[in-house]
């Protein structure tokens, strides 16, 4: 199957428009803070959410709105998380009502997202003042919608692909925000994906629920699982493919395209971790089963000591072995091999659980690059996994030491 990356983000698929404006949710900021994505027709919709027991009001409202498996719009603000607020549900429902008032899309067909500081008072007034400009400017503006959902993100995150299902050209694209409070089982991520594929809500939910296991749940920046994470997909069917109603070749093609977009977004999120200077990927092979592979890969990229070593370009492979040992997976540590790799080359540092001679100078060159692979082979079976993280820097503490103020 051929999958081609194309421009467009959430506007790459037929029938989707987007926009982002500044409405003043965070008075001290001059950035865009309100985004809207709409489809010209009602869509099949599916989502997954944070595992945190403290959940934002938008998640509660979105789950209710998606109970019938359909939606037609996404409205999302930055600057305030709308979490732990006494009027949170009122605000989230109010955002949906604003979409209905200005677009005619029923409020219960609206997905709601918020991101920002937790527990801060919130008013609907700024959003209400921005709705006219937001809806009037709807168009091929995935970039503006992406800009409006960013908080501590330093770079935009969008991706889109073109592919075929049953000989019909289809498109799928998405935008994401996420920089801090990112840890497996979703993160401080808001991920909005759109597609013109015709697929039932049931099969769409199956695809989304499976995809997240090897995409967003394999990302970690700082070990904190957020309260607001939402990954939602809208499918309006305008491509005209034969409806996907069951598993099979067409469903597999859709899942492959979805994964191509989500993995690209995962790498962007990890590389843009708060204060990060490096994308760190653990490529785990030789595991006895998938669960072991995922557990070990996540343990490696979550290790604060390993992350600090990557920041310092220190080939301290013992920290990798340490993380494997406390991961909880049943691993024969005396069979583990470890290498570090980047565009500068590869250096093998551990064989059968023990150190081997290597050039510290060459290792330093490898680890000074901005994208580093930690290669781990458990030599115990056929399973593999990939997990994405970043280095741990002084800047991370600086950002989060005064994040609220």
Catalytic residues: 188
For the packed helices 125-136 and 88-103, what is the interaxial angle rounded to 10 degrees? 30
Strands (E), 79-142: 110-115
Which residue do the tokens 């998380």 mark? Answer: 81
Residue 43, C-beta contacts closer than 8 angstroms, at least 6 positions apart: 70, 71, 72, 234, 235, 236, 237
Whole-angstrom Cα distance, residue 279 to residue 264?
Answer: 12
Which residue do the tokens 């467009």 mark? Answer: 8
Residue 11's φ and ψ, nearest 5 degrees, are: -100, 5
Residue 192: strand, helix, or coil: strand
Whole-angstrom Cα distance, residue 37 to residue 377?
Answer: 43
The closest of 197, 152, 201 to 177, measured between CA atoms, is 152
Question: How many residues does this entry show for the chain?
Answer: 405
Residue 103's φ and ψ, nearest 5 degrees, are: -125, -20
Cross-strand bridge partners of residue 393? none
Q: Which helix (H) or strand (E) holds 21?
A: strand 16-21
Evaluate whether 379 touches 287 at the Cβ level (below 8 Å): no
Whole-angstrom Cα distance, residue 200 to residue 192?
Answer: 18
Burial 227-250 (b: 16+ CB within 10 A, else e): bbbbbbbbbbbbbebeebeeeeeb
CA atoms within 13 A on the CB side of 111: 34
Whole-angstrom Cα distance, residue 74 to residue 68?
Answer: 16
């Amino acid at each position: 199957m051929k999958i081609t990356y194309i421009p467009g983000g959430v506007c790459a698929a037929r029938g989707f428009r987007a926009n982002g404006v500044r409405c003043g949710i965070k008075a001290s900021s001059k950035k865009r803070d309100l985004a809207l994505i709409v489809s010209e027709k009602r869509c099949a919709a599916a989502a997954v959410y944070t595992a945190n027991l403290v959940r934002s009001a938008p998640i509660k409202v979105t789950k209710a709105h998606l109970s019938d498996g359909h939606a037609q719009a996404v409205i999302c603000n930055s600057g305030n998380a709308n979490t732990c607020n006494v009027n949170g549900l009122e605000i989230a429902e109010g955002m949906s009502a604003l979409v209905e008032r200005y677009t005619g899309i029923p409020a219960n067909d609206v997905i709601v997202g918020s991101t920002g500081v937790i527990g801060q008072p919130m008013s609907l007034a700024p959003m209400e003042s921005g709705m006219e400009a937001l809806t009037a400017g709807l168009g091929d503006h995935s970039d503006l919608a992406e800009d409006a959902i960013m908080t501590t993100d330093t770079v935009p995150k969008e991706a889109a692909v073109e592919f075929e299902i049953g000989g019909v050209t289809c498109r799928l694209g998405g935008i994401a925000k996420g920089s801090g409070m990112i840890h497996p089982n979703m993160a401080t991520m808001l991920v909005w994906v759109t597609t013109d594929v015709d697929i039932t809500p049931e099969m769409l939910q199956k695809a989304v629920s499976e995809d997240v296991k090897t995409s967003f749940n394999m990302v970690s920046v700082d070990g904190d699982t957020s309260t607001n994470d939402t990954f939602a997909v809208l499918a309006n069917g305008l491509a005209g493919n034969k409806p996907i109603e069951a598993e099979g070749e067409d469903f597999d093609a859709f899942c492959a395209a979805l994964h191509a977009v989500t993995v690209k977004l995962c790498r962007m999120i990890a590389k843009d971790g708060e204060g990060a200077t490096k994308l760190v990927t653990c490529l785990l092979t030789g595991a006895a089963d998938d669960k072991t592979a995922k557990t070990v890969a996540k343990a490696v990229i979550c290790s604060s000591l390993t992350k600090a070593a990557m920041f310092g370009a220190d080939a301290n492979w013992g920290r990798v072995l340490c993380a494997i040992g406390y991961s909880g997976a049943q691993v024969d540590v005396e069979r583990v091999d470890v290498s570090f790799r980047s565009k500068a080359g590869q250096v093998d540092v551990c064989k059968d659980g023990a150190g081997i001679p290597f050039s510290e100078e060459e290792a330093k060159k490898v680890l000074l690059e901005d994208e580093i692979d930690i290669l781990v082979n458990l030599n115990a079976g056929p399973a593999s996994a990939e997990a994405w993280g970043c280095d741990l820097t002084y800047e991370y503490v600086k950002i989060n030491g005064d994040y609220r103020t």
